[in-house]
Amino acid sequence: MVSELLVSEVLDTNAMTALIVSKDGTVDFINKTYLYILGKSEEEVIGQHIGDITPESKTLTVIKTGKAIVGYNWSMNGYTMIACALPLIRNEELVGCFAYSLFMDILEAKDLVDNIMTELNMYRDEVRNLHSARYSFEDIIGKSENIEEIKYLAQRAALHPSITVLINGESGTGKELFAQAIHGASNRYMMPFIRVNCAAIPEHLLEAELFGYEDGAFTGARKGGSPGKFELANGGTIFLDEIGEMSLAMQSKLLVFLQEREFERLGGHKTVRVNVRVIAATNRNLEEMISQQKFREDLFYRLNVLSLEIPPLRERLEDIPLLVDYFIPKLNIELKASVSGISDEALGMLSKYNWPGNIRELVNTLQRAILLADMGAYPTITTKQLRFMKIKDLNESVISPQTLKSLMRDYEKQILTQALAETRQNKTKTATILDIDVSSLYKKLKQHGLTADNS
């Protein structure tokens, strides 16, 4: 969209001339206004040496020195203009020069350029907002020894912006948080942070998503083609989440990219080179997958330059008070609640739980507890708001002779009873908490023999 905007609104406007010269001095592009002033056709200029077209051109000086020449007077065939010649850089290498000039007697030219630059800045800011890291190392809460050790390694990784990082950890441990923090603390922080969930994209679309595609590459392809995530992340970081879900065929293509740092768009033949840091993450055991021939060993070693093992919450239970204190104020704002804290007894309950869902499950638990406390007009979270967790005593047997059906029935009855108690028998609030309609609530109350006399 931005490139189309440049060509249609700036490069082809009557208010300015525009010229692109390659590194060897040949003309790659010239707009219609420049051709009119020269009195030549496009066929007479494109591919010719700029010295043969305009011997006084500043573009050759820019190509030789690599330095821009800005704001000089430029006269040609009776026209007086203000001109600029700028070096074109790709992958830190000079590849040509872009020169343009504005007519001094066309006042609206400045307004036009100002308007276009404003719009370009808007697109730039939009891209930066959409593809930027939101979290830093300050958002990684914890003082336990194992989390401090991983944070230190991640901070060291941030100082080396080219090495590939593999983040291992169970679901909900905060793998993306670490990836964003690494990006934000590196010298790539001003460039995009692009996340790709390899498990969420269908296999037949993943290649186009990562590497982009050309016009007509497949049925339904966007006219004009589309850049892939690697191109969008150029200069920044690409985060490949759930890398263990990637097929062997895609693993091979990713391996080639990691080796060469270049690729071709789907349906294209032009080689695209990019400078990106790759951070991959998985909750699967990749070494075990290698032995099962489900993951390429050579790709594993390419990704595993630096490995970060994020500890599960059950191995850092001493961090729970810090995490609770961190999340309660944030969740109060999100839920428009006013719960001031948590009781010691409730905090003790949280420390007895195994947390299979890790930090994500803790946040969800606090969300529900805050809602129950706020709707019941409790100033703090108490054990009453955590009964739904069914935390067993350490000495209590987890084996039950009951059938799964009866266990689920008993659990549903317990949840209904607790919700009614928390809302002081208010059926509308109870239905809202349980995310069911009121008629379904009454039906379930009847099934479990819970009367609705106090509604």
What pLDDT is recorded for position 45? Answer: 93
Q: How far is CA 240 from CA 201, 275, 312, in A?
A: 12, 16, 20
Please tell me the distance from the alpha carbon of residue 194 to that of residue 196, in angstroms, as a whole number. 7
Location of each CATH 3.40.50.300 domain in the chain? 137-309
Burial of 324 (0-12, 13-18, 19+ CB in 10 A): buried
How is residue 177 annotated by DSSP? H
Q: Domain spanning 400-455 has what CATH number?
A: 1.10.10
CATH number assigned to the domain with residue range 321-398, chosen from the 4 options 3.20.20.140, 3.40.50.2300, 1.10.8.60, 3.60.21.10: 1.10.8.60
| Tokens of residue 254, six digits | 């990713």
| Tokens of residue 224, six digits | 């004009």
Location of each CATH 3.30.450.20 domain in the chain? 2-129
Location of each CATH 1.10.8.60 domain in the chain? 321-398
The model's confidence at residue 225, banded by pLDDT at 50, 70 and 90, is: confident
Percent of the chain residues past pLDDT 70, beyond the cut: 84
Mean pLDDT of 226-253: 93
Helix (H) or strand (E) holding 426: none
| Tokens of residue 86, six digits | 């700028």
Phi and psi angles of residue 8, each rounded to the nearest 5 degrees, phi first: -75, -35
What pairs with residue 380 in β-bridges? 341
Domain 137-309 has CATH 3.40.50.300: yes
What pLDDT is recorded for position 204? Answer: 82
Poorest-pLDDT segment among 200-209, 225-234, 311-320, 398-407: 398-407
Mean pLDDT of 76-103: 85
The model's confidence at residue 1, banded by pLDDT at 50, 70 and 90, is: very low
Q: Which residue has the tokens 């317990």?
A: 414
Per-residue pLDDT at 398 exceeds 50: no
**How is domain 2-129 classified at the CATH fold level?**
Beta-Lactamase (3.30.450)
What pLDDT is recorded for position 102? Answer: 80
Q: Which residue has the higher pLDDT, 316 or 221?
A: 316
Q: Where are the beta strands (DSSP E) in 371-412?
A: 380-381
Per-residue pLDDT at 416 exceeds 90: no
What pLDDT is recorded for position 98? Answer: 92
**pLDDT (tens digit, 9 = 90+) per residue, 19-54?**
999 999 999 999 888 998 888 899 999 999 998 998
Asked if 58 contacts 85 with a C-beta cutoff of 8 angstroms, the reply is yes
Per-residue pLDDT at 345 exceeds 80: yes
Location of each CATH 1.10.10 domain in the chain? 400-455
Burial of 406 (0-12, 13-18, 19+ CB in 10 A): exposed
